[in-house]
A and B are shown apart, each in its own frame.
Chain A
Amino acid sequence: DGGITQSPKYLFRKEGQNVTLSCEQNLNHDAMYWYRQDPGQGLRLIYYSQIVNDFQKGDIAEGYSVSREKKESFPLTVTSAQKNPTAFYLCATNSGPLTGELFFGEGSRLTVL
């Protein structure tokens, strides 16, 4: 089945630990995005990448890091510097800026204890 695969779906971590969320796509899309969603809230952009080896900060990048070494992969690391990491994290892709819809993965729900 093609599309976007996020893993893990659920993750529990202790405070102070770094966590890496995986996002893999086989849609051959250039652009990839990470959004954060808190209960009852909209989606807020963390980081985005329009091309391999390049990425930009979104609105709430503090405490997060990313890499884009391959077109298919855009992992997100939630570092210990992120003050409120418990949230639902969504990875998305599209074929480029201003080019229509975003395709979303099923999300990763991170709970920090």
Chain B
Amino acid sequence: GQQVMQIPQYQHVQEGEDFTTYCNSSTTLSNIQWYKQRPGGHPVFLIQLVKSGEVKKQKRLTFQFGEAKKNSSLHITATQTTDVGTYFCAVYSGGGADGLTFGKGTHLIIQP
């Protein structure tokens, strides 16, 4: 199935600092999704990107899809303690019927 590499695996920041996680693929993606999982919780959908070069914003979160549709990023401005968790990118494999393939996630740890 489709493979996506997500970096970094862990990120420690001071509260108020910015945070970015990256998702990379060796092949062109039809779309990409981002999920957040709080500690002890389940993944929750954040956004889906479809178009080349697309940029979407949700309050302090900015999502980008690369021009070649092979990479994506999630940027959080001025992190807050509520941002703690693991952020996953996910892509549909093969013909799409066989579910989402998830990256390994970036664990965001915030120090107050």
Q: List the interface of chain A (C-beta within 8 A of B).
A: 33, 35, 40-45, 48, 50, 56, 58-59, 90, 97-98, 100-107
Contact = CB atoms under 8 A, between A and B. Distances in A.
Interface residues of B, number: 27
B58 to A, nearest CB: 14
A41 B104 contact: yes
Contact of B92 (A35, A42, A98): A98
Please indicate which of the listed interface residues B41, B42, B48 has the most CB atoms of chain A within 10 Å of its own CB.
Answer: B42
B105 A42 contact: yes
Given A50-B97, A97-B95, A59 B42 contact: no
Nearest to A101: B45
B99 A58 contact: yes
A50 B98 CA distance: 9
A97 B94 CA distance: 11
B1 A59 contact: yes
The 10 residue pairs across chains A and B that have the minimum distance between CB atoms: A101-B45, A98-B96, A42-B104, A97-B97, A104-B42, A42-B102, A43-B102, A97-B96, A48-B99, A45-B99
23 contacts: A33-B100, A40-B9, A42-B88, A42-B105, A43-B88, A45-B99, A45-B100, A45-B101, A48-B98, A48-B99, A59-B1, A90-B43, A98-B92, A98-B97, A100-B48, A101-B33, A102-B33, A102-B35, A102-B45, A102-B100, A103-B45, A104-B44, A106-B42
